[in-house]
Amino acid sequence: MVIDSQPRQALVRRVTGLARSTPGRLSLIAVVLVLASLASGSLATWSVNRQEQALQDLATRSEPLAHAAQEVYRSLQDADATAASAFLSGGLEPTQLRERYEADIAQAQAALSVATASSPDLTATLAAQLPVYTGLIETARTNNRQGFPVGAAYLREASGLMRTQLLPAAQELYRAETDRVARAQDEAGFPVAPVLVALAFVIGLVLTQRYLTRKTNRLLNIGLLVATSAAVVSLLWVTTVSVLVMRDVADSRTASAKVDVLAQARIATLTARGDETLTLVARGAGQAYEKSFVEVSQRLEGQLEQAKRLDDTEAVDQAMRHFRQWQQVHQRIREADDAGQYNDAVNLIDNPYFDSLDSDLVRAIGQARQDFSDEVAVARASLAGTVVGVLVLAVISAAGSTMGLWQRLKEYR
Amino acid sequence: MRRLALVSVALISACSAGPAPSEIVPRTAGAPQPAGASTVTSAPSSTTGPAPSCDATASLRPGALPAAGQMPAGSTMERILKRGRLIAGVDQNSYLMGFRNSFTGELEGFDVDVARQITKAVFGDEKKVQFKVVTSAERIPMLQRGEVDLVVRTMTITCDRLKDVEFSSVYYQAGQRVLVRRNSGIAGVDGLKDRKVCVAAGSTSLNNVVSRVKTTVSVPNWTDCLVMLQQGQTDAISTDDTILAGLAAQDPYTEVVGARFTEEPYGVGIPKGQEDLVRFVNGVLERMRADGTWGAIYRRWLNTLGPAPAPPVARYRD
């Protein structure tokens, strides 16, 4: 350290000595301007690059993962409701219900393996308990096939496992993935620091221009003019593109909010369906399920209205209509069951409105996800070429400043 | 040179040991339990005091049975007749006593047939019955709230329950025994002192067992107990032999062991104060004993318990 201090002091003396003479001062300014130009350029490049990364992450990772998590929840919920329906139907279970259950489990596994890659901790419970669940369902089926009421007890145990462990874990996973989407959207926000640095650089160039005019009495310096123009263009470019991206990202937030509401609505639909079925399975002892049906239906109605406010599409309208029809049929099911017409009630539950509502919601979710993907694509498109452009402009600025100051320096030789 | 290289390799490996090889640690998932399972440490508080003494099984003497479809004016039966259906609380989980036929979806069993006989006596048509499934714990509350006209669900007549509901005469004499896995080595209730036993919440079996065993688990339905037994979460199930026979019939690896250690007289539960309905139901039960219907129903469902005994003799306090 002691040895080092000598040369360092010498350097400081040289620089201050240089700053005392005009040519020395000009050379110093040239060096500072070139460095500032390159620094501002690379800062802008870095920030644009980061935005691009965040957008790419949104389109190819976060959103697909959030969708996978939502699919895990939905397919598990549907598997449970379907298993209960198949049990209720009596006799041999209907083939289409069995197929639906199998498709749900396959879908849950597939979605789970996608989600596991990014959140192994959150999927651990699901991975451990899903085989236990399917095992219980098969035991229930086997006993049911032999006419043993213990089959219903296995079904209840499976359903309890689903409600107390699997679904909460899936819910947690979904929350984690949607938070990740929100974070990626935040990262694509306005690059404040790079824009301020670019602005400071432009001001620096203008001040240099004024200094030279005062010292040399020449109005224009072509080199510095070119450098200033390039810096201003770069500043405007980055600012404009960032504003555009911000607007698109804001739109994509609306789209993800819509996907979220619709996804919640779909889950509520399936929960209500499960409750409706289990009320009949419990045969008079199902007040808790009916209470849950009423609560979930109210929530579902609110979610559908919210989706309608966010974006009034035809699919959402259809969903609302089918929801109301379903509620009316449910009323009749309850009346029949309460009046002792159990078989009528079981026949009524086999109506098309639930399936229609579900497919409406699938359609609406598909549209909202497409909107999201479109917004992100537009944002990415507006960033195209920015990195190269900003770099080229930074080099032009640096070259312009050097040339401009070199011309003046030559006059002192 | 070679030696030097070897020494340096040994030195390097000594001070820069790699991390231990990774291991896969399975997430331990506790075995699932039936929804609503809980451990019981003492009998429910309402029965901790000395049981009230009374002549529990003496019911009200029936008069002559009115003809089906012509119930006395102003009677409870007439109200049921006018409604067009009798609402009976039964079980759908007790194989052989009250259970859901998984092929037809209909409720069947000894208790269900008794309820149908009562329906037939009111309407002349045994199909005019609406079954409501009740859990053991819900039997008395459902009767008190008037949600069912009567309960036929392996319900033991006790002095305690007589404070809240009426009972018919005894229609079946059951007794508590023990169901275990065949190779368990448990021979009866005395072998349960240091074992875990499953019973249904709100049943008399719960009170009979809780002081005799180490741990008692209570669940909503008797089939939930069979699930726990099959999954190795309990060592035994203890309740009335009728219910145990139904459970054993669903799993050949289980057996009913030991002698009856309680007497469980079954009666039809009826809301408090409806004495006309009690006398009517007793009339129906008298007729079933006399004309062989009781024996036929027994043979239809409970033949696995042995040849049909004589129907329990009704006792009346007038």
For residue A154, list chain B residues with Cβ-Cβ distance below 8 A: 227
Q: What is the pLDDT of residues A151-201, one digit of tens each?
A: 989 998 998 999 899 999 999 999 999 898 888 888 887 888 889 999 999
Contact between chains at B224 and A153 (C-beta distance less than 8 A): yes
For residue B35, list chain A residues with Cβ-Cβ distance below 8 A: 156-157, 159-160, 163-164
In this predicted structure, what is the pLDDT of residue B8?
A: 60
Nearest residue of B to residue A341, measured between CA atoms:
B130
Q: What is the pLDDT of residues B55-105, one digit of tens each?
A: 889 999 998 999 999 999 999 999 999 999 999 999 988 899 999 887 887
pLDDT at B5 > cutoff 70: no
Among B34, B104, B132, the residue with its CB nearest the CB of A156 is B34
Across A10-14, A110-114, B107-111, least confident range: A10-14
- Return the closest-CA partner of residue A281 out of A167, A163, A149, A102: A149
| A93 vs A375: which has the higher pLDDT | A375
pLDDT at A4 > cutoff 60: no
Closest approach of A301 to chain B, Cα-based (Å): 29
The burial class, CB within 10 Å (0-12 / 13-18 / 19+), for B310 is exposed
- What mean pLDDT is predicted for residues B142-146? 94
Q: What is the ipTM of this complex?
A: 0.81
- Return the closest-CA partner of residue A142 out of A192, A93, A74: A93
Helix (H/G/I), strand (E/B), else coil: B126: coil
Dig out the tokens for A317 from the structure.
């309208």
DSSP B180: E
pLDDT at A295 > cutoff 90: yes
Listed by number, the residues of chain A in 260-289 with a beta carbon closer than 8 Å to a beta carbon of chain B are 282-285
Among B102, B221, B224, the residue with its CB nearest the CB of A151 is B102
Across A336-345, B149-158, B226-235, least confident range: A336-345
Q: In 10 A of CB B241, how many CB atoms? A: 19
Residues 6+ positions from A240 with CB-CB distance below 8 Å: none
Q: What is the pLDDT of residues A227-271, one digit of tens each?
A: 999 999 999 999 999 999 989 988 888 998 999 999 999 989 988
Q: Taking the alpha carbons of A100, A102, A104, A110 in that order, is the dihedral positive or negative?
A: negative
Q: Does A153 touch chain B (CB under 8 A)?
A: yes
| B35 vs A217: which has the higher pLDDT | B35
Question: Which residue's entry shows tokens 């002091």?
Answer: A9
Dig out the tokens for A311 from the structure.
């974006």
Question: Which of A89, A130, A145, A148 best tests the B interface by mutation, with the highest count of B CBs <10 A?
Answer: A148
Residue B109's pLDDT band, with cuts at 50, 70 and 90, is very high
DSSP A156: H
Q: What is the pLDDT of residues A321-355, one digit of tens each?
A: 999 999 999 999 999 988 878 888 888 988 889 98
Residue A407's pLDDT band, with cuts at 50, 70 and 90, is confident
Q: Concatenated DSSP letters for A27-74?
A: HHHHHHHHHHHHHHHHHHHHHHHHHHHHHHHIIIIIHHHHHHHHHHHH
Listed by number, the residues of chain A in 295-354 with a beta carbon closer than 8 Å to a beta carbon of chain B are 339-340, 342, 346
How far, in Å, CA of B173 to CA of B241, rounded? 10
For residue A91, list chain B residues with Cβ-Cβ distance below 8 A: 102-105
Contact between chains at A149 and B223 (C-beta distance less than 8 A): yes
pLDDT at A1 > cutoff 50: no
Contact between chains at A152 and B93 (C-beta distance less than 8 A): yes
In chain B, pLDDT over 70 holds for what percent of residues? 91
- What mean pLDDT is predicted for residues A389-404? 91
For residue A122, list chain B residues with Cβ-Cβ distance below 8 A: none
Beta bridge mates, B315: B58
How open is the CA angle A365-A72-A94, to the nearest 5 degrees? 90
Helix (H/G/I), strand (E/B), else coil: B282: helix
The burial class, CB within 10 Å (0-12 / 13-18 / 19+), for A244 is middle
Mean pLDDT of chain B: 88
Q: Taking the alpha carbons of B193, B197, B203, B205 in that order, is the dihedral positive or negative?
A: negative
- What mean pLDDT is predicted for residues A83-109? 86
For residue B131, list chain A residues with Cβ-Cβ distance below 8 A: 283-284, 342
Return the top range by mean pLDDT from A3-7, A29-33, A364-368, B203-207.
Answer: A364-368
Q: In 10 A of CB A172, how many CB atoms? A: 17
Nearest residue of B to residue A163, measured between CA atoms:
B35
How far, in Å, CA of A311 to CA of A308, rounded? 5
| A64, amino acid identity | P
The model's pTM:
0.80
Contact between chains at A144 and B102 (C-beta distance less than 8 A): yes
| A201, amino acid identity | F
How far, in Å, CA of B129 to CA of B53, rounded? 35
Size of interface A-B (CB pairs under 8 A): 108
Nearest residue of B to residue A122, measured between CA atoms:
B27
Among B104, B130, B250, the residue with its CB nearest the CB of A150 is B250
How far, in Å, CA of A86 to CA of A141, rounded? 9
Contact between chains at B34 and A153 (C-beta distance less than 8 A): yes
pLDDT at B12 > cutoff 70: no
Contact between chains at B29 and A125 (C-beta distance less than 8 A): yes
Q: Taking the alpha carbons of A35, A40, A45, A47 in that order, is the dihedral positive or negative?
A: positive
DSSP B92: S
How far, in Å, CA of B136 to CA of B108, rounded? 17
Q: Would you give the end-to-end CA distance of chain B in angstroms?
A: 116
Q: Does A119 touch chain B (CB under 8 A)?
A: no
Q: Does A158 touch chain B (CB under 8 A)?
A: yes
Q: Please, what are the domains in chain B?
A: 55-173+266-307 (3.40.190.10), 176-257 (3.40.190.10)
Phi, psi of A224 (to 5 degrees): -70, -30
In this predicted structure, what is the pLDDT of residue B281?
A: 96
- What mean pLDDT is predicted for residues A103-114? 94
In this predicted structure, what is the pLDDT of residue A335?
A: 92
Helix (H/G/I), strand (E/B), else coil: B218: strand
In chain A, pLDDT over 90 holds for what percent of residues? 42
Residues 6+ positions from A254 with CB-CB distance below 8 Å: A310, A311
Question: Which of B25, B96, B100 best tests the A interface by mutation, with the highest count of A CBs <10 A?
Answer: B100
Q: What is the pLDDT of residues B167-185, one digit of tens each?
A: 999 999 999 999 999 999 9
Which residues in A183-220 are b (16+ Cβ under 10 Å) and which e? Answer: ebbeebeebeebbebbeebbebbeebbeebeeeeeeee
In chain A, pLDDT over 70 holds for what percent of residues? 97
Dig out the tokens for B58 from the structure.
């003496």
Are the CB atoms for B118 and B109 separated by under 8 Å? Answer: no
How far, in Å, CA of A133 to CA of A159, rounded? 8
- What mean pLDDT is predicted for residues A48-77? 90
How far, in Å, CA of B151 to CA of B90, rounded? 6
For residue A124, list chain B residues with Cβ-Cβ distance below 8 A: 27
DSSP B186: -
Helix (H/G/I), strand (E/B), else coil: B94: strand
- Return the closest-CA partner of residue A118 out of A54, A189, A60: A60
In this predicted structure, what is the pLDDT of residue B48?
A: 47
